[in-house]
Structure 1
């Protein structure tokens, strides 16, 4: 029987999935990142405590500002990625602070404006080249903004070194677990694929199957990104202790293909089959002591569908000796915005920063750094939809100002203030992972305390809310007047690239070997997921009057179903000859 002849059962039944131990699942989505919250609290409180104990209050506050920026870039990704991102954050922000500080000390207002404009041009030019470059550009601009807006006593080199030390503290706290759980993040990502595969098998043959398959694909995309540095060909791979993880990931890729075929076939499965991913996880990753290693009986007979036979073949392959074959999967190269887009963004960012600086000079001279600083935070179209980001910035600032105003009235002692900083630092660390408004709330409250410790005792609660609204409005007006269709162009380009990848998979899969087929399939699903994300961002921007957006979602959905169909047919073709 060919896959095209398979039909859904008249009355699909929902099968149950065996329970997974919590440690096998990794961190449950939506749970509080307690470790990150603890790092945020310690990273912000420790410099202040040291400053109070030694009398070096100003360097300790600058170090706390560095720690604040470091907490904003802390993450749950692999340790090597965290180290790279935090290292660039520290270096770029310290260089920016040095440049801004020297411009301010020159006593020439034009020098400050030129430095801000130059930093904005550099930040805009590099920001659309990738996540690390974007983070570096933003913090270069933030460093210049703070350095040129806050007079800091002491030698010129002291503040940049203190800022760098604060970021380095976050780096040490974030990367320290590498010493005792080196590949924990990679292991959790791979195990999440097996969990989501089990969930997809459990609902095979029901209306929930397609969404479950999509969740499995997203988990596999994430695992692929996390495991990418370890996936060099066997002869070139470093001896870093990831052999079992690499094999588990390769099997997860094969499992994803088999599960996709089962979902496409549309048949409900017995419990023995829905437990296959759980069994495979226990066999492939025995280092997790709670991962089950119970034996799964032969799941299907010779008359099973191609998808179920593929599951059976995978179980036999895993239970037997490793075959030594490497898939050599590589992540697809994502299209970056072209030179014209980078130039336009750099000019717009520089224009907004200079306009905010001039407005601050008129309204707040001296110390009018809040307006250009807000522009640097808000105008990040590569970080997501611009309008929601600006609105969340305003809401977070309003709530943060209200919160710190209420708390400051109760926190009367110096050490109580340090405790307040620790609490809001932990809140910011949680917000970084869950919601931008929450992260802004924590950052706003901490900044108010730190500036007070630097000697800025002005009552600026209402002023900072107005400044945030002005800066956000400035960014939105400039962007949507000059470049209103930027998100549309990104969505269209990503959708076209994803559809093209799906067609390449369709055209090449019938003649491709297993390695090439898996590579084409992974590239197609990666680009389809990226297209969905980009289209979702475009939908959240203001609608252009008289110009309804194209129905990109339908094209993406059709391409996903095409990939599912090609996968089902490829699995059937691979399974049929030997039967």
Structure 2
């Protein structure tokens, strides 16, 4: 007789997993390469104000300025164009200075502090939905307002904001100093990385077509390689088109790079056919893309690669035709015939292009984009829901901080503000990471306060911790908190000389703040009790149906196909990111398990439609009819318990 509790008995109840799955997802870090320049800038940027303050006999002013350097270090993206980097540094610094000034306006009145934080939280929440730079500016505005409430009211009201701005200047200068000497380096690198990502996608397709029998190291799996292509293309288009203040001039480097990126779209469209082919394409096709990527990144006038063999299969012909626009001269006018000899000779010029084929429509002025984004935000119920939810949590925290005798109470409000923001993760996941990181950071802070005897060794500790934060902080919020906590402890000690008494205050404020965030921001006002995943999946399947229908037309418009395909893969990437983020919420496990098969099915349909369109351009795709891509919000499979 079978034991009902035996693990092989299918009717046996599943034993609880220890730790729970959402713990494992929250604790797992994301791979993030160490940017050595970012590490050096972070350490040097915070060293300057601390060293100047200590050397001139004004350590308190130096610590206040170091807060600006610390904020600039968190805002330093380390990548992207220098224009984007300047905005990412400048706007949050202005928001921080404004927040510190607002914090001084309350005059220490509890009711004024509560009202101020409610207003600032609404503004910060709405601003944060506009984009990445505005999100950072809104976050710094909120955090600086909280810090301004906790600053001692010494000196004129403008002193702290001015020190904050001055403290961030050294890091900003270090970050922007190479601009005149390295113009367009970020754009070249982004386009080159897009080419390498597509080469990796073709390699993943070659391995599948070959049946996985190659003795070479296993390439990246196809789904992961496809997500890498989407991310690389989005990043490159953002730098070259979306985030530009004005359109590039003809024959300029951004215009040429945009043409290179546009031409790569044809290779991406042909890649699914390679994946489903009976035999892999020649490896020289992949090497040609990598050679061109190296030439683009280095700014070389030509890219050299081996002779490209003739195509053997319909899939090879589709890929070869796409390479004619990429490896040959993707910027020639449409009516000009490609020079087949250049492909055979293996030489490709990367010089200025006579024509730029724009695939994203005409350039929209910045003022129009800002007005459109702001109007969309003010009309969006989800933006208001997030802003009001953030306001409720921050107001509750500020009320507790103002009406109780908790020491260093602003840390309590800071904890709530950092946990509740949805663009940083779920409340449950960040609460767990915040608690673990705070405990680890307090141990480091205790060691620094008790072992390091004087000011200069502690300044060195702050420099090392800031550099470490820049190296590993973006991988996991717990690692960020482990570095952040001792930095704040050491800076607060330099401003108030409270020693190890700060440790107990930090722990108490963190625990109370986490409790408020869990109760108000999760139990009473859940972020996503019923996620919008079904609606987004339905929109994705509608676009798949339109894509399939478009490929069945006798002469489909390549631009329309590209826009549909790009929108579909953006939706796939956004949904995959949302699924990954929601895995840290235990209440969403059943919902995610129910709808994840539909997300996988949508990704497979997109690849099959693209493969058929690449093999048979202009012919019907009978296997992908509208009925096959009809959106469903009810899964085929039985939901997991």
TM range (shorter): 0.7 to 0.9
Task: Say whether 1:401 aligns with 2:442.
Answer: yes
Q: Which residue of 2 aligns with 1:39?
A: 41
CA contact (8 A) 2:110 2:403 kept: no
1:242 aligned counterpart, secondary structure: helix
Instruction: Find the counterpart in structure 1 of residue 358 from structure 2.
Output: 327
Task: Verify: 1:463 aligned to 2:466, yes or no.
Answer: no
CA contact (8 A) 1:150 1:367 kept: no
Give 1:94 deviation, angstroms.
1.0
Q: Following the alignment from structure 2 to structure 1, what is the Cα–Cα distance between the partners of residues 536 and 176? A: 34
User: Cα deviation per residue 1:409-447 (whole Å; 9 max; x = unaligned)?
Assistant: 232122111111101111121234322111222221111
Do the aligned partners of residues 165 and 280 (structure 1) sit closer, same or farther apart at CA in structure 2, a change above 3 Å counting?
same
| 2:563 aligned residue (519, 523, 533) | 519
> How far apart are 1:454 and its partner, in Å?
1.0
**Matching of residues 228-243 of structure 1 within 5 Å:** 228-229=241-242, 237=249, 241-243=253-255
Question: For 1:316-356, what per-residue CA distance to the aligned partner results, in whole angstroms no more than 9, with x for missing partners?
Answer: 44335831350322699999796433333333323322322
Are 1:59 and 2:61 an aligned pair? yes
Which of the residues 300, 307, 313 maps onto 2:321? 313
Q: Given that residues 245 and 285 in structure 1 are in contact (C-alpha distance below 8 angstroms), is that contact kept between their aligned partners in structure 2?
A: no
Q: Distance in 1 between matches of 2:233 and 2:250?
A: 23
Equivalent residues of 1:72, 1:432 under 8 A apart: no
Structure 1 residues 143-186: Cα deviation after superposition (integer angstroms, max 9, x where no partner)? 11111112142111111111122234333322233222222222
- Whether 1:422 aligns to 2:463 is yes
Are residues 362 and 446 of structure 1, via their aligned partners in 2, closer, same or farther at CA, if it must alter by over 3 Å? same
Q: Which residue of 2 aligns with 1:496?
A: 538
Report 1 or 2 for greater relative contact order, CA contacts < 8 Å, sequence distance ≥ 6: 1
When residues 288 and 383 of structure 1 are mapped into structure 2, their CA distance, relative to the original with a 3 A threshold, is farther
Which residue does the alignment assign to 1:213?
A: 226
**What is the CA distance between 1:118 and its match in structure 2?**
2.0
Q: In structure 2, do the counterparts of structure 1 residues 443 and 211 end up closer, same or farther at CA, with 3 Å as the change threshold?
A: closer
Q: Using the alignment, how far apart are the partners of 2:529 and 2:456 within structure 1?
A: 47
Q: Secondary structure at the match of 1:293?
A: strand
Report the alpha carbon displacement of residue 282 of structure 1 after superposing the two structures with TM: 4.5
Separation in 2 of the partners of 1:231 and 1:451?
Answer: 40
Q: Partner of 1:86 in structure 2?
A: 89
Structure 2 unaligned residues grouped into runs of 5+: 1-29, 213-220, 333-354, 364-368, 620-641
Output the TM-score relative to the length of structure 2: 0.77
Who is 2:548 aligned against?
Answer: 506
| Residue 633 of structure 2: aligned partner | none
1:347 to 388, 404, 418: 388
Q: 1:564 aligns with which of 591, 607, 614?
A: 607
**Would the aligned equivalents of 2:126 and 2:377 in 1 still touch at CA under 8 Å?**
no
Deviations 1:363-415 (A, max 9, x none): 54564211011112111112222221221122221111111211232321221
For 1:11, the equivalent position in structure 2 comes to none
SS in structure 2 of the partner of residue 179 of structure 1? coil
1:453 is matched with 494
Instruction: Write out per-residue CA displacement over residues 523-550 of structure 1, whole angstroms, 9 at most, x where no aligned residue.
Output: 21111111111122223212169x6446
Q: Which residue of 1 aligns with 2:308?
A: 298
**Could you tell me the TM-score, scaled by structure 1's length?**
0.85
CA distance in 1, matches of 2:584, 2:279: 37
TM-fit CA distance, 1:41: 0.6
User: How far apart are 1:97 and its partner, in Å?
Assistant: 0.7
1:440 aligns with 2:484: no
Count of residues paired in the alignment: 541
1:431 alignment counterpart: 472
Question: What are structure 1's unaligned runs of at least 5 residues?
Answer: 1-27
Give the distance between the partners of 1:541 and 1:266, measured in 2 at CA.
Answer: 42
TM-aligned CA distance change 1:283 to 1:446, over 3 Å:
closer
3-state DSSP of counterpart to 1:567:
helix
1:551: which partner in 2? 594
Please state if 1:269 is matched with 2:281.
yes
Asked if residue 255 in structure 1 is aligned to residue 267 in structure 2, the reply is: yes
C-alpha contact 1:100 1:145 (8 A) present in aligned 2: yes
Deviation at 1:100, TM superposition (A): 0.7
For the Cα contact (< 8 Å) 1:232–1:328, is it kept in 2? no
Q: Is the 8 A contact 1:230 1:242 kept in 2?
A: no
The CA distance in 1 between the partners of 2:409 and 2:31, in whole Å, is: 40
Q: Which SS does the other structure have where 1:297 is aligned?
A: coil
SS in 1 for 2:178: helix
Does 1:573 pair with 2:616?
yes
Change (3 A) 1:387 1:185: farther
In structure 2, the partner of 1:482 is: 524
From the superposition, tell whether residues 175 and 509 of structure 1 become closer, same or farther in structure 2 (CA, over 3 Å): farther
8 A Cα contact 2:53 2:59, kept in partner: yes
Quote how far apart the aligned CAs of 1:465 are.
1.8
**Per-residue displacement from partner, 1:89-140 (whole Å, max 9, x unpaired)?**
111111111111121xx24332222222222232233333332332222222
Which shows bigger deviation, 320-329 or 110-119? 320-329
Alignment match, 1:533: 577
User: Residues 233 and 308 from structure 1, CA distance in 2 versus in 1: closer, same or farther, beyond 3 angstroms?
Assistant: farther
Task: Provide the C-alpha distance between the structure 2 equivalents of 1:488 and 1:172, rounded to a whole number of angstroms.
Answer: 46
Shift of 1:360: 2.9
Q: Counterparts of 2:45 and 2:601 in 1: how far apart (Å)?
A: 48
What is residue 158 of structure 2 aligned with on the other side?
157
- 2 CA distance for matches of 1:443 and 1:284? 39
Matched, 1:360 2:360: no
